[in-house]
Amino acid sequence: MPEKGFDPELVRRYDVPGPRYTSYPTARQFSPAVNEAAYLRAVARSNEDFIPSALSLYVHLPFCASPCFYCACNRLITNNPQVVAAYLRRLHREIAQQGRGFDRDRLVRQLHFGGGTPTHLSDTQLQELFTTLRDSFHFASDAPTEFSIEVDPRSVDAARMGRLAALGFDRVSYGFQDLDPKVQQAVNRVQDAEHCLGLIPAARQAGFRSVSVDLIYGLPFQTEAGFGATLAAVAAARPDRVAIYAYAHMPVQFPVQRRMRREDLPDAELRSRLLTLAVEKLTGAGYVYIGMDHFALPDDDLVQAQAAGTLQRNFQGYSTLSGLDLVGLGLTAIGHVGDVYAQNAKKLDDYYAALDGGRLAVKRGYQLSADDRVRADVIGRLMCYDELHFADIERAHDLEFTRYFAPEMEKLAALQADGLVRIGEDGIAVLPRGRYLRRALGMAFDVYFPQTTASPGYSRVI
- Residues near ligand SF4, by CB under 6 A: 64, 67-68, 71, 73, 75, 115-117, 152
For ligand SF4, the closer CB: 61 or 282: 61
Q: List the beta strands (DSSP E) in 31-106.
A: 55-61, 63-64, 76-77
Give the nearest distance from C-beta 124 to ligand SF4 in angstroms: 21
HSE toward the beta carbon, residue 214, CA cutoff 13 A? 15
Nearer residue to ligand SF4 within complex by CB, 117 or 306: 117
The whole-angstrom separation of Cα 144 and Cα 426 is 34
Residue 311 CB, nearest approach to ligand SF4 (Å): 26
Nearer to ligand SF4, 254 or 448 (CB): 254
Q: Is 386 helix (H, G, I), strand (E, B) or coil?
A: coil
* Neighbouring residues of 365: CB distance < 8 A, sequence distance ≥ 6: 30, 31, 33, 34, 35, 38, 39, 340, 341, 342, 343
Min separation Cβ 65 and ligand SF4, Å: 8
Cβ distance to ligand SF4 smaller for residue 69 or 341: 69
Q: How far is the CB of 398 from ligand SF4 (least distance, A)?
A: 43
Return the axis-axis angle of helices 370-384 and 438-445, rounded to nearest 10°.
Answer: 160
Residue closer to ligand SF4 (CB basis): 152 or 372: 152
State the nearest-atom distance from the C-beta of 80 to ligand SF4, in Å: 16
**Spatial separation of the C-alpha atoms in residues 141 and 109, rounded to whole Å:** 9
- The neighbour count for residue 92, using CB atoms within 10 Å, is 19
Which residues, 6+ apart, have CB-to-CB distance to 408 below 8 Å? 444, 445
Alpha-carbon gap, residue 304 to 20, rounded angstroms: 22
Amino acid, single-letter form, for residue 158: A
| Residue 233 exposed, middle or buried by CB count within 10 Å (0-12, 13-18, 19+) | middle
* Shorter beta-carbon distance to ligand SF4: residue 25 or 115: 115
What are phi and psi for residue 384, nearest 5 degrees?
Answer: -105, -35
- Neighbouring residues of 307: CB distance < 8 A, sequence distance ≥ 6: none
Let me know: does 211 contact 234? Beta carbons within 8 Å. no
Nearer to ligand SF4, 331 or 354 (CB): 331
Q: Nearer to ligand SF4 by C-beta: 139 or 254?
A: 254
- The Cα-based distances of 125 to 79, 102, 118 in angstroms read 15, 24, 10
Closest distance of CB 54 from ligand SF4, Å? 29
Tell me whether residue 75 or residue 249 sits nearer to ligand SF4 (CB atom). Answer: 75
Closest distance of CB 70 from ligand SF4, Å: 7
Residue whose CB is less far from ligand SF4, 44 or 73: 73
| Distance in Å, CB of 347 to ligand SF4, minimum | 17
Q: Dihedral of CA 290/296/302/303: which sign?
A: positive
CB of 235 vs ligand SF4, minimal distance in Å = 23
389, containing H or E segment: strand 387-389
Task: Report in angstroms how near the CB of residue 64 gets to ligand SF4 at its nearest.
Answer: 3
Which CB sits closer to ligand SF4, 115 or 239?
A: 115
Contact 219, 187 (CB under 8 A): yes
- Beta strand segments in 140-269, E: 146-151, 171-177, 210-217, 241-246
Q: For residue 276, which phi and psi values (nearest 5 degrees)?
A: -60, -45
List alpha helices for 266-314, DSSP H: 268-284, 301-308
Q: Which residues touch 358 (CB under 8 Å, ≥6 apart)?
A: none
Closest approach of ligand SF4 to the CB of residue 76, in Å: 9
Shortest distance, position 75 Cβ to ligand SF4, whole Å: 4
When the beta carbons of 136 and 316 are compared against ligand SF4, the nearer one is 316
